[in-house]
Structure 1
Protein backbone atom coordinates (compact mmCIF):
# COMPACT_ATOMS: atom_id res chain seq x y z
CA UNK A 1 0.00 0.00 0.00
CA UNK A 2 1.81 3.14 -1.19
CA UNK A 3 1.21 6.27 -3.20
CA UNK A 4 -2.55 6.40 -3.06
CA UNK A 5 -3.39 2.71 -2.89
CA UNK A 6 -6.09 2.41 -0.27
CA UNK A 7 -6.88 -0.26 2.26
CA UNK A 8 -9.70 -0.51 4.75
CA UNK A 9 -8.70 -1.08 8.38
CA UNK A 10 -10.35 -3.68 10.60
CA UNK A 11 -12.61 -0.99 12.02
CA UNK A 12 -13.71 0.21 8.58
CA UNK A 13 -11.44 3.24 8.19
CA UNK A 14 -9.90 4.11 4.83
CA UNK A 15 -6.09 3.96 5.11
CA UNK A 16 -3.32 4.85 2.69
CA UNK A 17 0.40 5.47 2.72
CA UNK A 18 1.37 8.72 1.06
CA UNK A 19 4.82 9.95 0.11
CA UNK A 20 5.13 13.59 1.15
CA UNK A 21 7.76 16.27 1.64
CA UNK A 22 8.59 18.06 4.86
CA UNK A 23 6.77 21.11 3.45
CA UNK A 24 3.45 19.25 3.12
CA UNK A 25 0.89 20.58 5.66
CA UNK A 26 -0.02 16.98 6.55
CA UNK A 27 3.45 16.60 8.12
CA UNK A 28 2.80 19.29 10.75
CA UNK A 29 1.32 16.92 13.40
CA UNK A 30 4.32 14.60 13.03
CA UNK A 31 6.82 17.44 13.45
CA UNK A 32 4.93 19.02 16.35
CA UNK A 33 4.43 15.79 18.32
CA UNK A 34 7.93 14.47 17.69
CA UNK A 35 9.46 17.74 18.80
CA UNK A 36 7.31 17.73 21.96
CA UNK A 37 8.21 14.08 22.65
CA UNK A 38 11.96 14.68 22.23
CA UNK A 39 11.97 17.83 24.35
CA UNK A 40 9.88 16.15 27.08
CA UNK A 41 12.22 13.15 27.26
CA UNK A 42 15.61 14.77 26.56
CA UNK A 43 15.29 18.49 27.36
CA UNK A 44 15.26 21.69 25.28
CA UNK A 45 18.42 20.83 23.34
CA UNK A 46 16.52 17.94 21.72
CA UNK A 47 14.65 20.51 19.62
CA UNK A 48 17.73 20.64 17.37
CA UNK A 49 17.15 17.04 16.24
CA UNK A 50 14.12 18.13 14.21
CA UNK A 51 16.18 20.58 12.13
CA UNK A 52 19.38 18.56 11.89
CA UNK A 53 18.92 17.39 8.29
CA UNK A 54 18.24 19.35 5.11
CA UNK A 55 14.73 19.06 3.68
CA UNK A 56 15.92 17.06 0.69
CA UNK A 57 17.48 14.35 2.92
CA UNK A 58 14.04 12.72 3.09
CA UNK A 59 13.25 13.19 -0.62
CA UNK A 60 13.50 10.72 -3.46
CA UNK A 61 15.59 9.22 -4.92
CA UNK A 62 17.73 8.67 -1.79
CA UNK A 63 15.11 9.14 0.90
CA UNK A 64 11.39 9.16 1.54
CA UNK A 65 8.91 10.54 4.04
CA UNK A 66 5.77 8.42 4.42
CA UNK A 67 2.57 9.23 6.22
CA UNK A 68 -0.10 6.70 7.05
CA UNK A 69 -3.40 8.49 6.56
CA UNK A 70 -6.65 7.27 8.04
CA UNK A 71 -9.74 8.82 6.51
CA UNK A 72 -7.38 11.47 5.11
CA UNK A 73 -5.79 12.40 8.46
CA UNK A 74 -2.17 11.56 9.41
CA UNK A 75 -2.03 8.92 12.16
CA UNK A 76 1.54 7.64 11.79
CA UNK A 77 4.63 8.22 9.73
CA UNK A 78 8.32 7.80 9.28
CA UNK A 79 11.17 8.52 6.95
CA UNK A 80 14.48 7.24 5.78
CA UNK A 81 17.50 8.98 4.33
CA UNK A 82 20.62 7.72 2.63
CA UNK A 83 23.20 6.52 5.15
CA UNK A 84 25.59 5.09 2.55
CA UNK A 85 25.35 3.48 -0.90
CA UNK A 86 23.64 0.36 0.39
CA UNK A 87 22.09 1.54 3.65
CA UNK A 88 18.97 3.59 4.44
CA UNK A 89 18.67 5.22 7.87
CA UNK A 90 15.22 5.38 9.47
CA UNK A 91 14.30 8.73 11.03
CA UNK A 92 11.16 10.53 12.24
CA UNK A 93 9.15 7.47 13.33
CA UNK A 94 5.90 8.76 14.78
CA UNK A 95 2.43 7.61 15.79
CA UNK A 96 -0.16 10.22 16.70
CA UNK A 97 -0.75 10.16 20.45
CA UNK A 98 -4.45 9.35 19.94
CA UNK A 99 -3.64 6.29 17.80
CA UNK A 100 -0.92 4.44 19.68
CA UNK A 101 -1.02 0.73 20.56
CA UNK A 102 -2.72 -0.19 17.25
CA UNK A 103 0.31 -1.58 15.39
CA UNK A 104 0.60 1.49 13.17
CA UNK A 105 4.31 2.07 13.82
CA UNK A 106 5.07 -1.51 12.83
CA UNK A 107 3.15 -0.99 9.58
CA UNK A 108 5.04 2.23 8.85
CA UNK A 109 8.36 0.53 9.58
CA UNK A 110 7.51 -2.38 7.25
CA UNK A 111 6.51 0.04 4.49
CA UNK A 112 9.76 1.99 4.92
CA UNK A 113 11.70 -1.28 4.66
CA UNK A 114 9.77 -2.30 1.54
CA UNK A 115 10.25 1.10 -0.08
CA UNK A 116 13.98 1.18 0.73
CA UNK A 117 14.51 -2.33 -0.64
CA UNK A 118 12.60 -1.44 -3.81
CA UNK A 119 15.02 1.39 -4.60
CA UNK A 120 18.08 -0.80 -4.04
CA UNK A 121 19.05 -0.42 -0.39
CA UNK A 122 20.29 -3.72 1.14
CA UNK A 123 20.44 -2.70 4.79
CA UNK A 124 18.44 -0.47 7.07
CA UNK A 125 19.96 1.25 10.08
CA UNK A 126 18.49 3.38 12.84
CA UNK A 127 19.15 4.76 16.26
CA UNK A 128 16.76 5.69 19.01
CA UNK A 129 17.24 7.39 22.32
CA UNK A 130 17.76 5.54 25.59
CA UNK A 131 14.58 7.12 27.02
CA UNK A 132 12.35 5.60 24.35
CA UNK A 133 11.63 2.05 25.54
CA UNK A 134 8.63 1.79 23.20
CA UNK A 135 10.87 2.35 20.19
CA UNK A 136 13.45 -0.13 21.48
CA UNK A 137 10.71 -2.73 21.84
CA UNK A 138 9.32 -2.03 18.37
CA UNK A 139 12.68 -2.49 16.66
CA UNK A 140 13.49 -5.67 18.55
CA UNK A 141 10.02 -7.10 17.76
CA UNK A 142 10.44 -6.16 14.08
CA UNK A 143 13.59 -8.26 13.77
CA UNK A 144 16.25 -5.58 14.05
CA UNK A 145 19.65 -6.58 15.41
CA UNK A 146 20.73 -4.40 18.33
CA UNK A 147 24.25 -3.01 17.95
CA UNK A 148 24.57 -2.60 21.71
CA UNK A 149 24.44 -4.75 24.82
CA UNK A 150 20.72 -5.31 25.44
CA UNK A 151 21.42 -6.28 29.05
CA UNK A 152 23.02 -2.91 29.87
CA UNK A 153 21.08 0.01 31.30
CA UNK A 154 20.05 2.02 28.19
CA UNK A 155 20.89 5.27 29.97
CA UNK A 156 24.53 4.18 30.16
CA UNK A 157 24.74 3.46 26.42
CA UNK A 158 23.60 6.63 24.70
CA UNK A 159 21.89 6.22 21.33
CA UNK A 160 20.59 2.69 20.79
CA UNK A 161 21.61 1.56 17.29
CA UNK A 162 19.95 -1.20 15.28
CA UNK A 163 20.33 -2.73 11.83
CA UNK A 164 18.47 -5.14 9.59
CA UNK A 165 19.29 -6.64 6.21
CA UNK A 166 16.83 -5.91 3.42
CA UNK A 167 15.86 -8.38 0.70
CA UNK A 168 17.28 -7.81 -2.76
CA UNK A 169 14.42 -6.53 -4.90
CA UNK A 170 14.43 -5.13 -8.38
CA UNK A 171 14.54 -1.31 -8.13
CA UNK A 172 11.26 0.39 -9.07
CA UNK A 173 12.85 3.54 -10.48
Structure 2
Protein backbone atom coordinates (compact mmCIF):
# COMPACT_ATOMS: atom_id res chain seq x y z
CA UNK A 1 0.00 0.00 0.00
CA UNK A 2 1.60 3.29 -1.11
CA UNK A 3 0.53 6.62 0.35
CA UNK A 4 1.05 9.98 -1.26
CA UNK A 5 4.39 11.40 -0.18
CA UNK A 6 5.63 8.20 1.45
CA UNK A 7 8.21 5.61 0.51
CA UNK A 8 7.85 2.09 1.86
CA UNK A 9 11.05 0.99 3.55
CA UNK A 10 10.02 -2.29 5.09
CA UNK A 11 7.32 -4.81 5.78
CA UNK A 12 7.10 -7.35 8.57
CA UNK A 13 4.61 -9.48 10.41
CA UNK A 14 4.08 -8.58 14.04
CA UNK A 15 1.93 -11.16 15.87
CA UNK A 16 0.27 -12.27 12.64
CA UNK A 17 -0.45 -8.76 11.33
CA UNK A 18 1.35 -7.46 8.25
CA UNK A 19 3.10 -4.21 9.21
CA UNK A 20 4.35 -1.68 6.70
CA UNK A 21 6.91 0.90 7.80
CA UNK A 22 6.92 3.91 5.53
CA UNK A 23 8.86 7.15 5.34
CA UNK A 24 6.65 10.20 5.73
CA UNK A 25 7.09 13.90 6.31
CA UNK A 26 7.31 14.95 9.96
CA UNK A 27 4.72 17.67 9.36
CA UNK A 28 2.20 15.30 7.71
CA UNK A 29 -1.18 14.93 9.45
CA UNK A 30 -0.52 11.29 10.41
CA UNK A 31 2.91 12.08 11.88
CA UNK A 32 1.54 15.05 13.79
CA UNK A 33 -1.37 13.00 15.17
CA UNK A 34 1.05 10.36 16.47
CA UNK A 35 3.36 13.06 17.89
CA UNK A 36 0.39 14.68 19.64
CA UNK A 37 -0.41 11.29 21.18
CA UNK A 38 3.15 10.81 22.44
CA UNK A 39 3.11 14.31 23.92
CA UNK A 40 -0.13 13.42 25.75
CA UNK A 41 1.64 10.30 27.03
CA UNK A 42 4.51 12.46 28.32
CA UNK A 43 2.00 14.70 30.10
CA UNK A 44 0.48 11.63 31.82
CA UNK A 45 3.88 10.27 32.83
CA UNK A 46 5.87 13.45 33.55
CA UNK A 47 3.30 16.20 34.01
CA UNK A 48 4.37 17.98 30.80
CA UNK A 49 5.33 17.36 27.20
CA UNK A 50 8.78 17.11 25.66
CA UNK A 51 9.97 20.69 25.17
CA UNK A 52 12.76 19.83 22.75
CA UNK A 53 12.47 22.07 19.68
CA UNK A 54 11.77 20.00 16.57
CA UNK A 55 11.40 21.39 13.08
CA UNK A 56 9.77 19.58 10.17
CA UNK A 57 12.99 19.93 8.18
CA UNK A 58 14.98 18.19 10.94
CA UNK A 59 13.66 14.86 9.66
CA UNK A 60 14.23 15.39 5.93
CA UNK A 61 16.68 12.99 4.26
CA UNK A 62 19.63 12.88 4.13
CA UNK A 63 19.87 14.66 7.51
CA UNK A 64 17.03 12.77 9.14
CA UNK A 65 14.05 10.53 8.52
CA UNK A 66 10.59 9.99 9.98
CA UNK A 67 8.86 6.62 9.80
CA UNK A 68 5.30 5.48 10.45
CA UNK A 69 4.17 1.87 10.94
CA UNK A 70 0.82 0.91 9.43
CA UNK A 71 -1.25 -2.25 9.80
CA UNK A 72 -2.85 -4.14 6.90
CA UNK A 73 -5.86 -1.81 6.87
CA UNK A 74 -3.70 1.32 6.70
CA UNK A 75 -4.17 2.32 10.35
CA UNK A 76 -1.07 4.07 11.72
CA UNK A 77 0.20 2.14 14.75
CA UNK A 78 3.38 3.97 15.68
CA UNK A 79 6.26 6.12 14.60
CA UNK A 80 9.89 7.01 15.11
CA UNK A 81 12.53 9.10 13.50
CA UNK A 82 16.02 10.49 13.64
CA UNK A 83 17.65 13.82 13.04
CA UNK A 84 21.24 14.95 12.79
CA UNK A 85 22.93 15.85 16.07
CA UNK A 86 26.54 16.84 15.40
CA UNK A 87 28.11 13.67 13.92
CA UNK A 88 25.43 11.40 15.37
CA UNK A 89 21.82 10.59 14.58
CA UNK A 90 19.41 11.44 17.40
CA UNK A 91 16.37 9.18 17.68
CA UNK A 92 13.11 11.01 18.46
CA UNK A 93 9.43 10.26 18.89
CA UNK A 94 9.49 6.48 19.06
CA UNK A 95 5.89 5.67 19.91
CA UNK A 96 3.43 2.80 19.57
CA UNK A 97 -0.28 3.24 20.15
CA UNK A 98 -1.47 1.50 23.30
CA UNK A 99 -3.54 -1.22 21.57
CA UNK A 100 -0.52 -2.23 19.44
CA UNK A 101 2.02 -2.49 22.28
CA UNK A 102 3.80 -5.60 23.58
CA UNK A 103 3.91 -7.18 20.13
CA UNK A 104 7.43 -6.21 19.05
CA UNK A 105 6.45 -3.18 17.00
CA UNK A 106 8.64 -0.72 18.92
CA UNK A 107 11.65 -2.96 18.27
CA UNK A 108 10.78 -3.04 14.55
CA UNK A 109 10.50 0.75 14.49
CA UNK A 110 13.83 1.17 16.28
CA UNK A 111 15.46 -1.27 13.83
CA UNK A 112 14.05 0.72 10.90
CA UNK A 113 15.32 4.00 12.41
CA UNK A 114 18.75 2.43 12.97
CA UNK A 115 18.85 1.14 9.38
CA UNK A 116 17.84 4.53 7.98
CA UNK A 117 20.48 6.38 10.01
CA UNK A 118 23.18 3.86 9.06
CA UNK A 119 22.22 4.10 5.38
CA UNK A 120 22.67 7.88 5.65
CA UNK A 121 26.22 7.31 6.93
CA UNK A 122 25.59 7.89 10.64
CA UNK A 123 27.76 5.74 12.86
CA UNK A 124 25.98 6.22 16.18
CA UNK A 125 22.36 6.65 17.22
CA UNK A 126 21.70 8.53 20.46
CA UNK A 127 18.52 9.19 22.41
CA UNK A 128 17.22 10.67 25.61
CA UNK A 129 14.48 9.16 27.74
CA UNK A 130 13.31 9.38 31.31
CA UNK A 131 12.63 7.32 34.41
CA UNK A 132 8.86 7.22 33.84
CA UNK A 133 9.37 5.05 30.75
CA UNK A 134 10.84 1.86 32.26
CA UNK A 135 9.58 -0.30 29.39
CA UNK A 136 11.42 1.90 26.87
CA UNK A 137 14.60 1.87 28.96
CA UNK A 138 14.47 -1.93 29.19
CA UNK A 139 13.94 -2.24 25.43
CA UNK A 140 16.78 0.12 24.54
CA UNK A 141 19.17 -1.69 26.89
CA UNK A 142 18.13 -5.06 25.44
CA UNK A 143 18.87 -3.65 21.98
CA UNK A 144 22.42 -2.71 22.99
CA UNK A 145 22.04 0.96 23.91
CA UNK A 146 24.49 2.11 26.59
CA UNK A 147 24.89 5.37 28.56
CA UNK A 148 26.46 8.28 26.67
CA UNK A 149 27.47 11.81 27.61
CA UNK A 150 24.31 13.85 28.25
CA UNK A 151 23.29 16.07 25.34
CA UNK A 152 20.42 18.20 24.13
CA UNK A 153 17.60 20.00 25.87
CA UNK A 154 17.51 17.65 28.87
CA UNK A 155 21.29 17.27 29.33
CA UNK A 156 21.20 18.76 32.83
CA UNK A 157 17.78 17.40 33.83
CA UNK A 158 18.01 15.12 36.85
CA UNK A 159 16.78 11.64 35.97
CA UNK A 160 17.17 12.13 32.23
CA UNK A 161 18.81 9.09 30.68
CA UNK A 162 21.01 9.47 27.59
CA UNK A 163 21.78 6.33 25.62
CA UNK A 164 23.57 5.49 22.40
CA UNK A 165 24.46 2.64 20.11
CA UNK A 166 27.12 2.21 17.46
CA UNK A 167 25.50 1.49 14.11
CA UNK A 168 26.71 -0.99 11.55
CA UNK A 169 26.90 0.50 8.11
CA UNK A 170 25.91 -1.62 5.13
CA UNK A 171 29.57 -1.73 4.13
CA UNK A 172 30.73 -3.11 7.52
CA UNK A 173 27.79 -5.53 7.61
CA UNK A 174 28.81 -6.89 4.19
CA UNK A 175 32.50 -7.23 5.15
Structures share fold, TM-score greater than 0.5 = yes
Q: Secondary structure at the match of 1:61?
A: coil
Q: Separation in 2 of the partners of 1:18 and 1:129?
A: 27
Match of 1:79 in 2: 81
Question: Is 1:140 matched with 2:138?
Answer: no
Q: For the Cα contact (< 8 Å) 2:12–2:18, is it kept in 1?
A: yes
Shift of residue 60 of structure 1? 1.2
Q: For the Cα contact (< 8 Å) 1:120–1:169, is it kept in 2?
A: no
Residues 10, 131 of structure 1: alpha-carbon distance in 2 compared, 3 angstrom cutoff: closer
RMSD between superposed Cα atoms in Å? 2.2
Question: Is 1:14 matched with 2:15?
Answer: no
Q: Which stretches of structure 1, 4 residues or longer, exceed 6 Å deviation after superposition?
A: none
Give runs of aligned pairs for residues 82-121 of structure 1, distance below 5 A.
82-85=84-87, 87-121=88-122
Q: For the Cα contact (< 8 Å) 1:26–1:73, is it kept in 2?
A: no
Q: Deviations for 1:111-166, whole angstroms, at most 9, x for unmatched residues?
A: 11011101100011111012111110110011111238xxxxxxx94210111101
TM-score of the superposed pair, with normalisation by structure 1: 0.82
Shift of residue 29 of structure 1? 3.5
Shift of residue 33 of structure 1? 1.5
Q: Separation in 2 of the partners of 1:121 and 1:10?
A: 27
Match of 2:152 in 1: none
Q: For the Cα contact (< 8 Å) 1:6–1:14, is it kept in 2?
A: no
Q: How many pairs does the alignment contain? A: 158
Shift of residue 80 of structure 1? 0.5
TM-score of the superposed pair, with normalisation by structure 2: 0.81
Q: For the Cα contact (< 8 Å) 1:82–1:89, is it kept in 2?
A: yes
Shift of residue 168 of structure 1? 2.6
Structure 2, unpaired ranges of 5+: 1-5, 150-156
Shift of residue 22 of structure 1? 2.2
Residues 162, 168 of structure 1: alpha-carbon distance in 2 compared, 3 angstrom cutoff: same
Shift of residue 32 of structure 1? 2.4
Q: Separation in 2 of the partners of 1:140 and 1:84?
A: 23
Residues 101, 84 of structure 1: alpha-carbon distance in 2 compared, 3 angstrom cutoff: same
1:4 to 8, 11, 20: 8
